[in-house]
Amino acid sequence: MRAYVFTDKALARHAGRFVWLSIDSERPENAAFLEKYPISVWPTLLVLDAREEKAALKWAGGATVPQLEKLFEDGERAVLGSAPGLEGELARADNLNAEGKPGEAVKALEALIARAPPDWSRRPRAVESLLLALMLDGKADACTRVALAEVPKLPRSPSLANAAGTGLACALDAPKDAPGRKEAIAALEGYARAALGPPEIAMAADDRSGVYEVLVQARQDAGDTEGKKQVAREWATYLEGEAARAPNAEARAVFDSHRLGAYLALGEPARALPMLEASEKALPEDYNPPARLAYVLRQLGRYDEALAASDRALVHAYGPRKLNILRERANIQRARKDGPGTRKALEDALAYARSLPPSRGVQRAISVLEKELAEQK
């Protein structure tokens, strides 16, 4: 978003419309903000009502410039609470979702979609919001049912692609022996594939990448190794093309994690090395390139180099991401069969985890690390 959307000159006219704030969720000093406005997807866009200090709109994921401008409108309505008709109902549903009431938001969105005419301009966004709310609320079955019913009705748009991808992810979450699972996956996989085909939908690159990722998961779930690789090749080719067009190193590095996912799906982690080495050289203060290099080098059995990359990442890392790097060090030491080194890495990770502001994610990490240490000989 920072590299490709917020810099767009078309947004200049909105400069005075809101007070703009960016929160680094890894920084310990932002823990209180995140406690008040919890998120589980990065990025998450919020519109806050300053009068009551509450979230009026919450959007999980990125957006194109046109999508973002629509979210500005929706956020304004959600704060002012003055919109009539369907737009007002959507604003109230946005309020419920932003306030951390996904069950109530789901009911409001279901009622809204049932009443809205097929050609209502905000219907695709309402369907997308409903699917995300269901998925984040752990209602995979309902998410799948809604996707099967609504995706075929959506116009060709970013919402169609995102709704198909979200629905497919929900279908894949069902138990392997769940009735209708195979048929639901096949249908939603078809919609997702079609959304990536011609004519091309103008959508955020990371959203398109996300659809490719879930299509890879679908082929893996089916045990279709060659089909998985074919999708992964398409995914990698798309991302390499986007990276080649990037205007600068920071914009190019946006695609590093996505490209790494595609290369891993292909079973070719070494393809990520030149990309990550170039990003580390161009962005020496960024911990992400060396942290990813440490993971790739472990996959390749180059353990000493992996530890050296991990050392470089730790110089700049902080917050929960630093904890992940410390945990990866334990994985590297375990892979090289260094028992004392593994124990030391686990102890370092546990000590650091206990120093972080408490959260559900940190508490889960502490529990896992304690168990791993107890099992370590």
In tens, the pLDDT along 229-266 reads 999 999 999 999 999 999 999 999 999 999 999 999 99
For the chain, the average pLDDT equals 93
Cα–chain center distance at 268:
23
In tens, the pLDDT along 190-226 reads 999 999 999 999 998 989 999 999 999 999 999 999 9
pLDDT at 97 over 90: no
Q: Please name the residue ranges forming H helices in 46-157.
A: 65-80, 85-98, 102-115, 123-136, 140-150
pLDDT at 377 over 80: no
DSSP 44: E
Task: Out of 19-33, 89-103, 155-169, give the one with best mean pLDDT.
Answer: 155-169
Average pLDDT score over residue span 314-318? 96
335 compared with 320, residue with greater pLDDT: 335
pLDDT at 126: 93
346 compared with 137, residue with greater pLDDT: 346
pLDDT at 139: 93
Would you place residue 102 in the very low, low, confident or very high pLDDT band (cuts 50, 70, 90)? confident
Instruction: Determine which of 53-67, 117-131, 238-252 has the lowest per-residue pLDDT on average.
Output: 53-67
pLDDT at 316: 96
pLDDT at 362 over 90: no
Q: Which helix (H) or strand (E) holds 58?
A: strand 54-60
Would you place residue 361 in the very low, low, confident or very high pLDDT band (cuts 50, 70, 90)? confident
Residues in a beta bridge with 46: 58
Residues in a beta bridge with 48: 55
- Tokens describing residue 120: 């209502």
pLDDT at 28: 84
Cβ(335)–Cβ(343) under 8 Å? Answer: no
Q: What percent of the chain has pLDDT over 70?
A: 99
Would you place residue 92 in the very low, low, confident or very high pLDDT band (cuts 50, 70, 90)? confident
Cβ(42)–Cβ(59) under 8 Å? Answer: no
pLDDT at 59 over 90: no
pTM over 0.75: yes
Residues contacting 305, CB < 8 A, separation 6+: 297
Task: Out of 7-16, 136-145, 272-281, give the one with best mean pLDDT.
Answer: 272-281
Cβ(180)–Cβ(226) under 8 Å? Answer: no
pLDDT at 193: 97
Would you place residue 90 in the very low, low, confident or very high pLDDT band (cuts 50, 70, 90)? confident
pLDDT at 208: 95
pLDDT at 9: 92
pLDDT at 31 over 90: no
Task: Report the SS3 class of residue 60.
Answer: strand
Please say whether the dihedral angle defined by the alpha carbons of residues 193, 194, 198 and 203, taken in this order, is positive or negative.
negative
Distances (CA, A) of 138 to 135, 173, 280: 5, 10, 37
Would you place residue 297 in the very low, low, confident or very high pLDDT band (cuts 50, 70, 90)? very high
pLDDT at 110 over 80: yes
Would you place residue 145 in the very low, low, confident or very high pLDDT band (cuts 50, 70, 90)? very high
Cα–chain center distance at 37:
17
> How does strand 54-60 pair with strand 44-49?
antiparallel
pLDDT at 2: 87
